Amino acid sequence: MAEPPGIAAGDAELTNAGLFERACAVLPGGVNSPVRAFGSVGGTPYFVARGQGAHVWDAEGNRYIDYVQSYGPGILGHAPAAVIGAVVAAAADGTSFGAPTEREVRLATEMCARVPGLEMLRLVSSGTEAAMSAVRLARGATGRNKIVKFAGCYHGHSDSLLAAGGSGVANQGLSGCDGVTPGAVADTVVAPYNVVPDVDGDTAAVLVEPVAANMGLVAPAEGFLEGLRAACDRAGALLVFDEVITGFRLACGGATEFYGVRPDLWCFGKVIGGGLPVGAFGGGRELMGHLAPLGGVYQAGTLSGNPLATAAGLATLAALDGSAYERLEAIAVKLAAGLEGAFGASGVDAVVPRVGSLLGLFFGDGMPRNFDEAAASVASGLYAPFFQAMLRRGVALAPGPYEAIFVSLAHSEADIDATITAATEAAAELA
């Protein structure tokens, strides 16, 4: 069999540039998720060879303090011993069965015990699948078609939810997606974040990121989530929290515990897989009873409840008690203050929003409240040179200005101090 184009026997020692050239021959854009191509920040992407704790090493042996952390799952850092041990043990028993296993029952039980109001859930393989399935369930349970979402909130790449989809499309300079037909989004209404929309009797569900983490980081305004709850109650619509990022990161019970607002449906991912592909959607017992085989809303997946993913998720959640969240927030508080000080010392206008352990970065003198204001910050063009200046100093941020900054329990005082020093020098370059 012929080798793929661009790959020849006896290649010289691998480099990031060499790997990217080879990748472009066999992967569209050289990547399997668009933001990884560095289109928003320029330059050649680094290829991760391995990770440990707060750090990753690229193909050339360069070490970076990593604030990507797989966009959220790395809440314990990379390759934590407890998670790796659980995955290895699970793999020895078999990697996939297409049949029920004990660990999926244990993971669902643990999640329901943590989140107030969550009584049943269905495990899937990604956050996209969770959100897509939650929409189908909401429509099936209510008999209505219309969905309300918010500009800049990303709920995965299913057709009906890509409208004004935040980081998923915004990092590529796109407002939508080719191949999504007008009919696919005909029942999707897009509203501005932090404004309670009109919810009428034709609305099946209102989907929201309780903390918008796909347009940078935008916190919910006071009363916004409560207003959504009240509007849905008046209209008989379902409120759906997309907690793929916030779930089990903000608190033991996610955004529901953090803000005290209870939705009808939740979408989860990231943390509950401990770095392996997983997602989940869930709600009250009666609502979840609409799912097959109990009801008429069909959803299925061969790899749903995968034994390796559930083992990793259980090991991750076992490490996340109240003290863990206190430590995470303390790390984030120190980093946020250090970044603000770095920009202030150089006279660079920038703000560093923080919600719990989630951080963002916006250039400009105002704190964005919605996607339009976040996009105005991005239009300054300062994120790309700051990203590159940090990368040269061994600090890896997300290669797109609409992403969040993720700290982990593995980030040490020395890591944070080194990051602040790098930011001070990078800010001086910008100035």
CB 246 within 8 A of CB 277: no
The phi, psi pair for 279, rounded to 5°, reads -155, 170
Say whether 58 is catalytic: no
Q: How many residues are given for the chain?
A: 431
The amino acid sitting at 149 is K
Cβ neighbour number for residue 109 with a 10 Å cutoff = 12
Total Cβ atoms within 10 A of residue 384: 17
Chain centroid to Cα 417, Å, comes to 25
The catalytic residue among 46, 58, 193, 242 is 242
Residue 167 CA to residue 197 CA, distance in Å, equals 22
Residue among 289, 267, 28 nearest 141 (CA): 289
**DSSP structure class, residue 404:** -
Contact (CB, 8 A) for 90 and 308: yes
Reply yes or no on whether 146 is catalytic: no
Q: Is 270 a catalytic residue?
A: yes
CB 12 within 8 A of CB 59: no
Q: Which of 46, 58, 270, 402 is the catalytic position? A: 270
Between the alpha carbon of residue 195 and those of residues 93, 178, 227, 390, the distances in Å are 50, 28, 9, 35
Spatial separation of the C-alpha atoms in residues 45 and 33, rounded to whole Å: 12
| Rounded-to-integer distance, Cα 367 and Cα 101, Å | 46
Give the residue numbers annotated as catalytic, written as ranges: 154, 242, 270
